[in-house]
């Protein structure tokens, strides 16, 4: 890694997975993007996101008011998911990047740098600001024919925040930051010989065999994730069980002139299709129905392949795992659409929207499928492959 030049990157020679990339301006770029994202995040909470006018009545929503609307409707669990994935997790992640970048830029040995690095890596998969923006856009299309919608200042701030946050994640490389921490703190890695090494699942550092904690980030070390398959199966089955009520029970309840109309996910998709909103109907159908099913099948195949002789190459299943890990969080878009409609449409008997019990089940299903993907150790598939074909496994 020390021989890489700015602008270069390294990948695994076996599976092609990205290992490390050195940005041309690593400290300045990470610091600039993280600070800009924090400013935009603050702005997205200060002003209205959307304003709605219908039949002479008007309402507006802010990001924080959307969470309050869920709490008032006794859906605090969904409110916690919203605040955690869109506000708190990105905020803590960005503060961690600022802390690390400043320390490395000015060669300061501040306390807790390695723990902060580990925290940033663990938080990265749970940030969903871009999913929330897609949820806003879907909500706009759903309401366009019913009311007059005005975009508030916080919408543009949230849109820019999601873009800058994505760029921050792109320029932040945990392996490279860890390598620079080693130099800053005078940490000398032991030269490892043969196969006597264990890789840290957090920072990627290679430690001597039988080490209990990573010498770089202090994370607990294991040759393979403990109880990976049993944990993945348990989380996957829990997600499948939650998927059933998520589709059978109402996702939201619309009250208009005193009449309450519950609608499930599929009923909402069919309604959008009948209204001619084909792109939105397809987005909701793919994110809420197809993606969860694909994840269920993919994770099941991965677990079976890690327990028996795989039908395809280990590289094939590794790529399947990377795709499964990538698409999981996008299913949350339907939950965010419900959140936005609940916060925006609250006009008493004229028209109001309330969350349905399926919103809790669906949010739980998304969280459990993400946990299942994170608990799965893809190296188990390579272990089976090497045992079946030891020549290729060298």
| Interval 260-319: pLDDT, tens | 778 888 888 887 788 777 787 888 888 888 989 999 999 999 998 888 766 667 788 888
245 assigned to some structural domain = yes
Q: In this structure, are 178 and 262 located in the same domain?
A: no
8 in any annotated domain:
yes
In a domain, 83, yes or no: yes
On whether both 165 and 229 belong to a single domain, the answer is no
- Give domain status of residue 270, yes or no: yes
Shared domain check, 237 and 140? no
Residues 133 and 244 in one domain: no
Whole-prediction pTM? 0.85
The answer as to whether 199 is a domain residue is no
Question: Which helix (H) or strand (E) segment is 90 a member of?
Answer: helix 89-105
Are 175 and 316 in a shared domain? no
279 and 131 both lie in a single domain: no
Q: How far apart are CA 145 and CA 138, in angstroms?
A: 13
Q: Is the pLDDT of residue 89 over 90?
A: yes
Q: How far apart are CA 355 and CA 88, in angstroms?
A: 23
Residues 141 and 234 in one domain: no
Tokens 């006009």 label which residue?
Answer: 347
Interval 107-138: pLDDT, tens: 888 998 888 998 999 999 999 999 999 999 88
Average pLDDT score over residue span 188-192: 53
Domain membership flag for residue 302: yes
pLDDT digits (tens, 9 = 90+) for 211-236: 777 777 777 777 778 888 999 999 99
Indicate if 120 and 236 belong to the same structural domain.
Answer: no
Residue predicted with more confidence, 83 or 145: 83
Instruction: Determine, yes or no, domain membership for 87.
Output: yes
* Tally of domains in the chain: 2
Cα distance between residue 219 and residue 176, in whole Å? 17
17 and 142 both lie in a single domain: yes
Mean pLDDT of all residues in 236-244: 95
Please check the confidence at residue 174 and state whether its pLDDT lies above 60: yes
Pair (164, 258) in one structural domain: no
**Cβ 172 vs Cβ 30: under 8 Å:** yes
Domain range enclosing 107: 1-187
Same domain membership, residue 376 and residue 238: yes
Residues 181 and 264 in one domain: no
For residue 284, tell me if it sits in a domain. Answer: yes
């Amino acid at each position: 890694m020390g021989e890489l030049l700015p602008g270069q990157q390294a990948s695994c020679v076996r599976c092609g997975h990205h290992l490390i990339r050195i940005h041309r301006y690593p400290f300045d770029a990470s610091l600039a993007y993280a600070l800009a994202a924090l400013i935009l995040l603050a702005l997205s909470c200060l002003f209205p996101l959307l304003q709605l006018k219908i039949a002479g009545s008007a309402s507006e929503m802010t990001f924080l008011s959307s969470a309050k609307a869920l709490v008032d409707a006794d859906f605090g669990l969904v409110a916690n998911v919203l605040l955690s994935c869109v506000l708190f997790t990105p905020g803590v992640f960005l503060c961690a990047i600022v802390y690390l970048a400043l320390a490395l830029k000015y060669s300061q040995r501040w306390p807790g740098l390695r723990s902060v690095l580990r925290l940033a890596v663990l938080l990265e998969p749970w940030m969903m600001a871009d999913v929330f923006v897609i949820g806003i856009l879907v909500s706009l299309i759903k309401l366009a024919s019913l009311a007059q919608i005005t975009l508030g200042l916080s919408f543009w701030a949230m849109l820019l925040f999601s873009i800058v946050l994505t760029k921050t994640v792109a320029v932040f490389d945990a392996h490279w930051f860890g390598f620079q921490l080693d130099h800053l703190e005078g940490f000398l890695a032991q030269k490892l010989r043969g196969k006597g090494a264990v890789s840290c699942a957090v920072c990627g550092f290679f430690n001597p065999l039988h080490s209990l904690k990573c010498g770089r980030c202090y994370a607990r070390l294991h040759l393979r994730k403990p109880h990976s398959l049993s944990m993945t199966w348990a989380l996957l089955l829990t997600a499948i069980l939650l998927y059933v009520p998520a589709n059978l029970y109402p996702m939201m309840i619309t009250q208009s002139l005193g009449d309450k109309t519950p609608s499930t996910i599929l009923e909402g998709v069919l309604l959008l299709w009948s209204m001619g909103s084909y792109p939105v109907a397809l987005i909701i159908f793919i994110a809420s129905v197809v993606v969860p099913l694909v994840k269920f099948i993919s994770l099941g195949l991965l677990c079976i392949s890690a327990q028996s002789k795989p039908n395809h190459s280990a590289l094939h299943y590794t790529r399947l795992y990377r795709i499964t890990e990538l698409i999981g969080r996008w299913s949350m878009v339907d939950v965010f659409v419900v959140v936005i409609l609940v916060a925006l449409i609250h006009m008493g008997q004229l028209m109001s929207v309330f969350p349905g019990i399926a919103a809790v089940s669906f949010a739980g299903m998304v969280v459990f499928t993400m946990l299942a993907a994170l608990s799965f150790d893809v190296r188990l598939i390579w272990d089976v492959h090497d045992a079946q074909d030891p020549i290729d496994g060298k």
